[in-house]
Amino acid sequence: MFHVCKVAVLVLTSLWLVKAQPGIVRQADYDVLRNTSTGPIVCALDQPHTVRNDTRSRMHCSTTCLQNDQCSSFNYKDVGCGFACEHFEGYPTKFTVDPACRHYAVRANVCIVTLLL
C-alpha cells in the first residue's frame, strides 16, 4: 500500500458522459488514475460514500456517479461474481495497486442550463 497525493497523480484514459434532463445538460470527463505516466492503475482505499453492487459495467458505474452531483470519483471493482461501484464525495487520499480495481476521477464537470421554449 502507498499514499499518493492527488496533485502527484497523473491522469490518462478518459470517459466522457452527458446527462440530460429538461432544461439541464450535465457533462463529465472521468480519468483513470496511475501513480506515474507508465505505472499501474491505482485503486482508492478511502471509505467510499456509496457502494453499489448492482453495477452492470464501467459505463453504468460512471453514469450513476454523474447522477450524483457530489460524486467526484469512483472505484470500479471486479468482485469475482460481478462488479462493485464505489462512489466518493471528495477526493480520496490513500491508493494501492489492485489489478481487480480501477479508480476514476472527475476531470471536468459542466452543467449547462437551457431555456425551454
Q: What is the pLDDT of residues 72-113, one digit of tens each?
A: 899 999 988 889 999 999 889 999 999 999 999 876 555 544
68 grid coordinates = 450524483
User: For residue 110, what are the contacts with CB-CB under 8 A and spacing of at least 6?
Assistant: 26, 27, 28
Residue pair 58/80 in contact (Cβ under 8 Å)? The answer is no
Whole-model pTM above 0.85? no
Q: Rounded distance, CA 55 to CA 78, Å?
A: 10
Structurally, at CATH architecture level, domain 2-113 sits in 3-Layer(bba) Sandwich (3.50)
Q: Rounded distance, CA 83 to CA 86, Å?
A: 10
73 grid coordinates = 470519483
Residue pair 104/17 in contact (Cβ under 8 Å)? The answer is no
83 grid coordinates = 462488479
Calculate the alpha carbon distances from 38 to 32, 35, 69 in Å: 12, 8, 31
Q: Please state the domain extents for the chain.
A: 2-113
111 grid coordinates = 452543467
Indicate the range of 21-30, 47-56, 88-97 predicted with least confidence: 21-30
